[in-house]
């Protein structure tokens, strides 16, 4: 009996050995190194011409948009291979309780009395302030916002389908809080294969990357990308390649964020 209990304890320790919990109870998943195809590659766009910097038409964008079908494709192309080193990613979006612990206030629109609701109404600049204060509290510099590449790699969790639950939109309700009147507490839907919750829906999540009109272009003005869709967004909500952007000071009741911790 003792040997059986010891074996179970050892197995449990091995399964969760890579996870990390910080001083305020934020849980992080160990995301292994790997490669993936970032973005969307609709049939036919492989032969679309690159934009000519000396002409006003956007040759690639115009060509890609004629192939897009039912999804906003041009900003997600060309699909390209990305390789990443391992990192920790928070298993949930930053909650109102976690925000209050660090910042001493609660800017969220949806205050239900549940501290596990995701914080929203926070700009990219606000998120960076949270990061700075959390780093200071723990005397480290390891916390940060994810890049777009890290975010999509973590969201896909080894899949290459539209959503990490598959290509059929009927699966989205199982993984995403979407097309509702409000956000929901984190972990209200199934996690992905990496153990991450709400990578689709609930609230959009700020990244540390600037927006590019396509992956062939340079940064578009003073912008930051957010990912994942939200409770409000409907069309194509929560697709792993979905991208939106705004200025770093922009706030909305459907935008929050999650953190990465360097190893």
- For the residues 51-69, what does the mean pLDDT come to? 62
pLDDT surpassing 80 at residue 103: yes
> What is the chain's length?
263
Per-residue pLDDT, 215: 83
What sign results for the dihedral spanned by CA atoms 131, 27, 150, 261?
A: positive
CA 237 – CA 198 distance, rounded (Å): 12
Spatial CB neighbours of 95, under 8 Å, sequence gap ≥ 6:
115, 116, 117, 118, 119, 186
Q: Where are the domains of the chain?
A: 19-39+79-261
pLDDT tens digit sequence for 10-46: 333 334 458 999 999 999 999 999 999 999 876 666 5
pLDDT range class, residue 179, cuts 50, 70, 90: confident
pLDDT tens digit sequence for 114-156: 999 999 999 999 999 999 999 999 999 999 999 999 999 999 9
pLDDT surpassing 70 at residue 65: no
Reported pTM: 0.85
* b/e burial code for range 108-137 (CB count within 10 A of at least 16 → b): bebeeeebbbbbbbbbbebbbebbeebeee
pLDDT tens digit sequence for 222-243: 999 999 999 997 657 889 999 9
**Whether the Cβ atoms of residue 106 and residue 197 lie closer than 8 Å to each other:** no
The DSSP secondary-structure symbol of 250 reads -
pLDDT range class, residue 51, cuts 50, 70, 90: low
pLDDT surpassing 80 at residue 6: no
In this structure, whether the domain defined by 19-39+79-261 belongs to CATH 3.90.1580.10 is answered with: yes
């Amino acid at each position: 009996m003792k040997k059986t209990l010891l074996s179970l304890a050892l197995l449990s320790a091995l399964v969760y050995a890579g996870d990390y919990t910080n001083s305020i109870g934020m849980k992080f998943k160990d995301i292994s190194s790997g490669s993936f195809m970032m973005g969307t590659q609709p049939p036919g766009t492989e032969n679309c011409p690159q934009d000519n910097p000396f002409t006003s038409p956007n040759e690639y964008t115009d060509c890609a948009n004629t192939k897009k079908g039912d999804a906003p494709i041009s900003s997600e192309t060309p699909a390209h291979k990305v390789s990443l080193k391992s990192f920790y990613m928070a298993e949930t979006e930053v909650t109102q309780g976690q925000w209050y612990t660090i910042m001493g206030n609660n800017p969220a629109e949806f205050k239900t009395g549940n501290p596990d609701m995701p914080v929203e109404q926070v700009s990219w600049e606000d998120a960076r302030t949270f990061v700075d204060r959390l780093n200071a509290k723990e005397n480290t510099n390891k916390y940060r916002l994810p890049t777009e590449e890290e975010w999509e790699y973590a969201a896909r969790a080894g899949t290459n389908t539209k959503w990490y639950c598959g290509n059929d939109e009927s699966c989205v309700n199982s993984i995403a809080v979407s097309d509702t009147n409000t956000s929901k507490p984190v972990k209200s839907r199934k996690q992905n294969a990496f153990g991450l919750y709400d990578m689709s829906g609930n609230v959009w999540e700020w990244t540390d990357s600037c927006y590019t009109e396509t992956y062939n272009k340079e940064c578009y003005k003073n912008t930051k990308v957010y990912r994942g869709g939200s409770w409000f967004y409907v069309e194509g909500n929560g697709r792993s390649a979905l991208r939106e952007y705004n200025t770093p000071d922009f706030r909305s009741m459907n935008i929050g964020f999650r953190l990465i911790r360097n190893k």
